[in-house]
């Protein structure tokens, strides 16, 4: 009898590991091994055509001390990230508006959200067209209102290119922020507002004292999405500006792609990747600390 139970248990264990194996294999192959491999590569001189050679900190020294483009890409990524609150603020306003009991609010929600599932490459092409110097909508409006005499080449001007790309990026992610915030708003008990109203709190005070604190996890989640977005937004940059003009819109991820797959400097790109990853982990840790350490936790039980 004991033997039968043991055999049954072994069979179940086999089944469990058999079920886990494919997913584990994929994550091992495309997440864990690449990360470790990047670490190794970054300390080597290596290219597909010659054997590896130990390089010590050579690539890191090169990057941190001599590579201006790296620093440019680093700061651009940071600016991209710092722009997330603007999008979140707009999304918060929209979420509050579509949370009110008005007619057609589902239609409004759908329209605001519609830009999110759209292919980013297409978004880039559409926005590049809107920014066009001669026939773009923005210049058309600006000229019609008499604000400018001649069209502005937004994406070809170093100081305007990054903000222009950021606007397009906010446009795309706005609906997603809105849905996250709306879910948070709908989880707040209406009785809290009623009690506060009876106590004589005005609308602004209710917003400050009830809505904002209870919405904190949702706002935090939006921030995390914003951070990830600024580290991974490759498609939009590639299509709209390809990092130009003169690296004004270069992000770390586009720079890594350029160094690895255009210049074939895989070892240097690996070092860039490691710095990029550490930066990302540091920010995620910081955000988690600032939000009280509990946010983003998944129930593991």
Partner 1 sequence: MNRFPKWVIHLGLGIICAAMMVPFYWVLKTSLTGENIFAYPPALIPENPHLFYYVDVWYSIPFFRYLVNSVIVSIIVVVANVVLNAMAGFALTREFMGKGAIIMLFLSCMMIPFQVTIIPAYLITKEIGLLNSHLGMALPLCSTIVCIFVFKASFDAIPKSLIDAARIDGVPDWMIIFRIMVPLSQSAIATNIILAFIWSWNNFLWPLIIIRDNDMQTLPLGLARFLTVVEDSTGALYAFCIMVLVPGLVIFLLAQKQFIAGLTSGAAKG
| Sole binder of partner 1 in the list 7, 10, 24, 150 (CB under 8 A) | 24
Minimum CB–partner distance for residue 256 and partner 1 (Å): 7
Residues 129-168 that bind partner 1 (CB under 8 A): 129-130, 134-135, 137, 140, 144
89 contributes a contact to partner 1 by CB under 8 A: no
23 contributes a contact to partner 1 by CB under 8 A: yes
Q: Which residues contact 158 (CB under 8 A, 6 or more apart)?
A: 245, 246, 248
261 contributes a contact to partner 1 by CB under 8 A: yes
Distance of alpha carbon 287 from alpha carbon 224, whole angstroms: 8
98 contributes a contact to partner 1 by CB under 8 A: yes
Minimum CB–partner distance for residue 15 and partner 1 (Å): 8
Minimum CB–partner distance for residue 228 and partner 1 (Å): 6
Distance of alpha carbon 45 from alpha carbon 40, whole angstroms: 10
264 contributes a contact to partner 1 by CB under 8 A: no
| Sole binder of partner 1 in the list 88, 165, 166, 253 (CB under 8 A) | 253
Contact window for partner 1 (CB under 8 A) among 49-57, 72-80, 126-134, 154-162: 126-134
Q: Closer CB to partner 1, residue 103 or residue 159?
A: 103
| Sole binder of partner 1 in the list 148, 203, 212, 263 (CB under 8 A) | 203
Q: Which residue has the tokens 């589902």?
A: 106
The two counts, helices (H) then strands (E), for the chain are 16, 2
**Per-residue binding letters, 266-295, with partner 1 (x by CB under 8 A):** x--xx--x--xx--xx--x------x--xx
Q: What is the C-alpha R_g of the chain?
A: 25
Contact window for partner 1 (CB under 8 A) among 53-61, 68-76, 80-88, 215-223: 215-223
Q: Which residue has the tokens 């290119």?
A: 161
Residues 49-78 that bind partner 1 (CB under 8 A): none
| Sole binder of partner 1 in the list 1, 54, 159, 300 (CB under 8 A) | 300
Distance of alpha carbon 32 from alpha carbon 43, whole angstroms: 18
Q: Closer CB to partner 1, residue 58 or residue 193?
A: 193
- The SS3 of residue 298 is coil
- The SS3 of residue 282 is helix
Question: What are the start-end ranges of the H helices in 64-208?
Answer: 68-82, 84-99, 105-113, 120-130, 137-144, 158-186, 190-198, 203-206
**Residues 80/240, Cβ–Cβ less than 8 Å:** no
Residues 161-200 that bind partner 1 (CB under 8 A): 171, 174-176, 179-180, 183-184
Report how many residues bind partner 1 under the rule CB under 8 A: 99
Per 3-state DSSP, the chain is made up of helix, strand and coil in percentages (nearest 5) of: 75, 5, 25
Q: Is 16 exposed, middle or buried (0-12, 13-18, 19+ CB in 10 A)?
A: exposed
The Cα-based distances of 145 to 140, 141, 160, 290, 301 in angstroms read 9, 6, 20, 44, 60
- Length of the chain in residues, anyone? 301
Q: Closer CB to partner 1, residue 88 or residue 159?
A: 88
Contact window for partner 1 (CB under 8 A) among 58-66, 79-87, 153-161, 230-238: 230-238
| Sole binder of partner 1 in the list 29, 52, 82, 212 (CB under 8 A) | 29
């Amino acid at each position: 009898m004991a033997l039968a139970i043991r055999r049954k248990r072994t069979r179940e264990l086999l089944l469990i590991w058999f079920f886990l194996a494919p997913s584990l294999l994929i994550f091992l192959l495309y997440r864990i091994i690449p990360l470790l491999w990047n670490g190794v590569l970054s300390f080597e001189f290596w290219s597909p055509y010659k054997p590896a050679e130990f390089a010590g900190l050579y690539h890191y020294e090169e990057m941190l001390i001599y590579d201006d483009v790296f620093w440019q890409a680093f700061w651009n990524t940071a600016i991209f990230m710092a722009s997330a609150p603007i999008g979140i603020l707009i999304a918060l306003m929209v979420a509050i508006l579509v949370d009110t009991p008005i007619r057609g609010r589902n239609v409004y929600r759908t329209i605001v959200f519609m830009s999110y599932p759209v292919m980013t490459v297409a978004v880039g092409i559409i926005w590049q067209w809107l920014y066009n110097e001669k026939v773009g909508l923005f210049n058309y409006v600006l000229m019609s209102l008499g604000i400018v005499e001649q069209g502005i080449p937004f994406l070809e001007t170093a100081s305007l290119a990054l903000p222009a790309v950021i606007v397009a990026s906010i446009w795309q992610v706005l609906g997603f922020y809105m849905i996250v915030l709306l879910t948070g708003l709908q989880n707040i008990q209406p009785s809290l507002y009623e009690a506060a109203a009876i106590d004589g709190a005005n609308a602004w005070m209710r917003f400050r004292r009830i809505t904002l604190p209870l919405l904190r996890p949702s706002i935090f989640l939006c921030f995390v999405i914003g951070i990830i977005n600024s580290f991974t937004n490759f498609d939009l940059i590639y299509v709209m500006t390809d990092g130009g003009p003169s690296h004004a819109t270069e992000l770390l991820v586009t720079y890594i792609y350029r160094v690895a797959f255009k210049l074939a400097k895989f070892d240097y790109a690996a070092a860039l990747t490691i710095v990029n990853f550490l930066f990302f982990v540091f920010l995620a840790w910081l955000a988690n600390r600032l939000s009280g350490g509990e946010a983003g936790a998944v129930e593991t039980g």
